[in-house]
Structure formats: structure tokens, C-alpha cells
Amino acid sequence: MDFATARRMMVDGQVRTSDVTDPGLIAAMAEIPREKFVPAAKSDLAYLDLDVPVSDGDARKSRRLLKPMVLAKLIQAGEIEPGDNVLDVACATGYSSAVLARLAASVVALEEDPALARTAEQVLTALGVKNVSVVTAPLVDGAAERGPYDVILLNGMSEILPEILCHQLKDGGRLVGVFNDGSTPRAMVYLSEREEVSGRAIFDAGAPLLPGFVRPPAFVF
């Protein structure tokens, strides 16, 4: 498969056409070999408009790389600056971390699946990415010891606003991800100001539900 052509088609057909205009972000996605972050048997799926599975097991529970369009629009909404410290929650095999590394000063790639974390570390090292630290820990706990963060990216959907992660934001920090409040799933950006967090919808989007980010069951009388 001609991955270079597939990468260019992904950027031109999925990213640029979705109001993604950040030149640094576009350049990163045009250059980083997404196929390296996908199991070899599934590498032909790397540039398709879908959430690409990167782990084995039940298809409904398998971990996935976000659709290129959704990932790009979330990152753009984070308004990452060159000096920022970013937490990449559920980095999986590390593709999103590689993209973030082109935009930020430092990235903490958080992954609770040890096998995925090892893969992320190996691929990022092989590609010469030096400003990403891979941390293996529960996703919902974040990585407070490496914070605070200017931006936190959720690589998947949450049914809750993760307060622990919000507390790891700097004043003026942004948390971006896909949230489902029981109606229409939407990409959201949450801003932390003076220890208060407020959110706004960016666009309608679906994403795989992240482990630990599930709404507690409602009490039934």
C-alpha cells in the first residue's frame, strides 16, 4: 500500500475539509506515519475515516485511534502553544502523542493498558520523538505529578466530566474530548479559570467510550 499517498488523501479529504486550518497541525498529520501506530495486520485501515482498532478482544471494547477528523478538530480546539505542557489521556499506541509533540513543548502520554503503553514507547522512540513521556496508570487518575497542564486531550468519549483531570489543569487550561450526556455526543472544550470549569460544544461527534469514564448507574426506587 502507498501510505504516503493515503496520508495525503487523509489530510486533504478528511482534515482540511473539516475546518482544520492550523498549519502546524496539518503539517504534523501530513508527515507522521499513522500506519506505524496500527498493528501490521490492520495497517491498511490506518488512513480510513474510522476509529481504528489497535487492541485485541471484544470489538465493542477494543481500544482505537480516533478518526483523523475528530482528533484534528479536538487538537485544534485545544489551541496548543509551543511552550505548553499537554496530557494525552488514553494515548493507546501513541499516534495522538506524536501529533501533539509537534505542537507543544512537552507531552505526557497516559495509558493504562501496559501492552499499548509499551508499543507507544517503542514507536515514539523509533520515530525519534523526544518530548513525550509515556506513563502507565489508570486513565481517570491522570498524571498529577507531571502537571499542571495547559491542555488535556481525551482520546475517546466520556459520560462524565472528570473532576480529577480538571484539577490538573493550569488556570486558563483547556480539556478537550467527546462527551455523551445521554442525548447527542458532542466534542467539548472545557476551560479552567479561577478553579471554576466551564464548557462549550464544538461539534457533534462520536468516539469509543473510555474505560473508567462511565456514568454511574442511576438509583431506581
- Number of domains the chain contains: 1
Tens-digit pLDDT profile for residues 96-124? 999 999 999 999 999 999 999 999 999 99
Question: What mean pLDDT comes out for the span 71-97?
Answer: 98
Question: What mean pLDDT comes out for the span 187-211?
Answer: 93
Q: Identify whether 210 is part of a domain.
A: no
Q: In angstroms, rounded to a whole number, what is the distance separating the alpha carbons of residues 168 and 189?
A: 15
* Chain mean pLDDT for the chain: 94
Q: Identify whether 134 is part of a domain.
A: yes
Length of the chain: 221
Instruction: Characterize the bridge pairing of strands 64-65 and 52-53.
Output: antiparallel
CA distances from 135 to 34, 146, 156 (A): 21, 10, 18
What was the pLDDT predicted at 61?
62
Q: Identify whether 161 is part of a domain.
A: yes
Q: Identify whether 220 is part of a domain.
A: no
Tens-digit pLDDT profile for residues 126-142? 999 999 999 999 999 99
Q: Identify whether 75 is part of a domain.
A: yes
Mean pLDDT check: name the lowest of 72-76, 92-96, 210-214.
Answer: 210-214
Q: What's the pTM value of the predicted model, to 2 decimals?
A: 0.94
Q: Identify whether 22 is part of a domain.
A: yes
CA distances from 26 to 3, 82, 143 (A): 17, 15, 28
Q: pLDDT at residue 57 above 70?
A: no
CATH number reported for the structural domain that contains residue 59 in this entry: 3.40.50.150
Q: Identify whether 217 is part of a domain.
A: no
Q: Identify whether 164 is part of a domain.
A: yes
> Range of 26's domain?
3-204
Q: Who's near 198: CB < 8 A, 6+ residues apart?
A: 190, 191
